[in-house]
Amino acid sequence: MSPPTDHELGAKGRAAGVIAWSAFLAAALATMMCFAFVDPIALAAGETPAWLADRLHVYAVGFFFFWLIGLVAAALCWQLAGRRES
């Protein structure tokens, strides 16, 4: 195995890039999903959606939503880290 040249990343650099990229994509997905269901202007005006009325419902939905986003980020990280270029 040859040592990395100036333009190649080592194993730690590649892992850091994969983790950062996966986290960025997960954050983008979370932002899109959040604002697809919650309108900031309506919240500022005091108009809350009906599904926000029950606190436990919001906690449960939020927990599973963030769990799903974490799962997506972990799967992306696993997928990107597992690929080896020839």
CB 73 within 8 A of CB 22: yes
Q: Give a yes or no: residue 1 inside a domain.
A: no
Give me the pLDDT at residue 38, please. 73
Residue 47 lies in a domain: yes
Which segments of the chain have a pLDDT < 70? 1-7, 43, 51-55, 83-86
* Domain range enclosing 63: 17-82
Q: What is the pLDDT of residues 51-65, one digit of tens each?
A: 666 667 777 777 888
User: Structurally, how many domains does the chain consist of?
Assistant: 1
| Residue 12, domain member (yes or no) | no
Q: Is the pTM of this model over 0.85?
A: no
Residue 10 resides in a domain = no
Rg (Cα) of the chain, in Å, rounded?
Answer: 19
Beta carbons of 7 and 50 less than 8 angstroms apart: no
- Do 18 and 24 form a contact (C-beta atoms < 8 A)? no
| 27 inside domain | yes
